Structure 1
Amino acid sequence: MAKRHRFERKEDRIVRKAGRRRPYDRMLIVCEGSKTEVNYFSAIRREKRLPNADIAIVPSDYGTAPLQIVEYAIDRFNEAKGFDRVYVVFDRDDHDSYHNALAKAEATHETLKNDLKAKVQFQAIPSVPNFELWILLHFRDVLAPIHRNQVYAELKKPAFYPSYAKNSLTVFQETKDRIADATARAEALRARYTSHNGTDPYTDADLLTGELLKIANRFS
């Protein structure tokens, strides 16, 4: 008989204690890019040995505009309905559909039903100006509007993360020790600004990162 994965063994124990209820939410995470964000969240899933089937991390097949990402996530979910939460990860950048994407994500929240006939949480994970702001927050505060080019320049300073490269497979591993600092800074921005403004620095990447790590901690 094949040896069972440690995640599955621990999951079985928790399920037996709590009845048949799954001890974690199944997630569909749809990202703007095919590499940067996908690589980051996949690295968490891989390092923490989370199940691929129940935590799907995919790029949008419809394009990289925020509204296209939301629309793809809806269609992808409707193909199988095997998820409890859907996250759409996108940047503000110069996208014309940014505000429409936020509105559609909010309007879609709890309107879809999954394979268990339960309402599905649908949440946008925007970053202003881009996902790299989340990485920069691991190293310093950002309190004023900043252009994406400046984010890259700041991030690559010798005192911060000079080896950073878009599409890297190792960003999570190389920054994970600073997640608590980055989360505190992201929370401070959320208390000060709103994603709907679209010009002030903002990210919800900490929320999704935190959810994945929370699942992992339940099985550690």
Structure 2
Amino acid sequence: MREDHPHQRRVAKNRYKHERRSARRAERATALIVCEGECTEPYYLRALLALLDISTASAVIVPGQTKADPVAVVTRAKERFTQALEFDKVFVVIDGDQANLDSALHLCNTPIQRANQREGRPEIRIQPIISSPCIEFWLLLHFAYTDQPFGNCADVIRALQVHLPDYRKADPKIFQKVGGEAGLGRAMEHVEQLISARAVGNAAWPSTSLPILVEALRAMRTPSGSNLPPSANL
């Protein structure tokens, strides 16, 4: 068959289109982030996206719903993913002080996309981002290091209010109020310190895996994005 045959040209054209789509996907990684919290986590993360110069089209943040538990959050993430199948990474941001956390983690470990050999798209597993006992522990680390074994979220909030007396949930300026980029840098350093302390003391409380999400977003940022300090090796 001649190379300029119409069928040959169509094959070449389709191959070119596929390669271009694949290249664009590689250049434009996307993430789905489903939160347990209705306001605090979304407000914080949207400000972080702005700092990193990442569009909300590339990183979609889904706020929590009233009385949502970890299992419901993971289920919602699965449903949102299957509606589009356009995300490269899926995260759920949840608190660790809940009874059904193990069930939620089990759901996270189940693939939500089988490998598609034709398009070369890998399986997707949901990455849980957990703060124990709650997201306020991550916010507290923006101000100071602590490995205090908090009994519950109320204890963490009281400790946070020592540094941020006007703290309240659903504050649209929460990222700025915990120090913005500088506060984030301190929090990342404090998590590294906490990991070292846990390794020595074999303690698992309190903890946060927010640096995993921060690193994933940093990898997506445009070349003009802000330079953040290196994160903890979690």
Q: TM-score, normalised by structure 2?
A: 0.73
Deviation at 1:96, TM superposition (A): 1.6
Letter in 2 for 1:180: G
Contact 1:133 1:151 in 2 (8 A): yes
Given candidates 162, 166, 178, the residue that maps to 1:163 is: 166
Letter in 2 for 1:127: S
Deviations 1:179-210 (A, max 9, x none): 1221122233345559xx99610101122123
**67-76 or 42-51, which moves further after superposition?**
42-51
2:168 aligned with 1:154: no
Given candidates 46, 49, 53, the residue that maps to 1:45 is: 49
Deviation at 1:20, TM superposition (A): 4.1
Contact 1:66 1:98 in 2 (8 A): yes
User: C-alpha distance in 2, partners of 1:123/1:75?
Assistant: 15
Letter in 1 for 2:75: E
Contact 1:62 1:72 in 2 (8 A): no
Deviations 1:144-203 (A, max 9, x none): 31021111111111xx22232211111212322121221122233345559xx9961010
2:74 aligned with 1:70: yes
For residues 188 and 40 of structure 1, do their structure 2 counterparts lie closer, same or farther at Cα, with a shift above 3 Å needed? same
For residues 20 and 75 of structure 1, do their structure 2 counterparts lie closer, same or farther at Cα, with a shift above 3 Å needed? closer
- The count of aligned residue pairs is 197
- Aligned partner of residue 133 in structure 1, secondary structure: helix
Letter in 1 for 2:57: A
RMSD: 2.8
**50-59 or 28-37, which moves further after superposition?**
50-59
- Report sequence identity in percent: 30
5+ residue gaps, structure 2 = 1-19, 226-234
What residue number does 1:131 align with? 135
- Aligned partner of residue 91 in structure 2, secondary structure: strand
For residues 61 and 143 of structure 1, do their structure 2 counterparts lie closer, same or farther at Cα, with a shift above 3 Å needed? closer
Q: TM-score, normalised by structure 1?
A: 0.78
Letter in 1 for 2:113: L
Contact 1:81 1:113 in 2 (8 A): no
2:208 aligned with 1:203: yes
- Aligned partner of residue 213 in structure 1, secondary structure: helix
5+ residue gaps, structure 1 = 1-15
Bigger Rg, structure 1 or 2: 2
Deviation at 1:61, TM superposition (A): 4.9
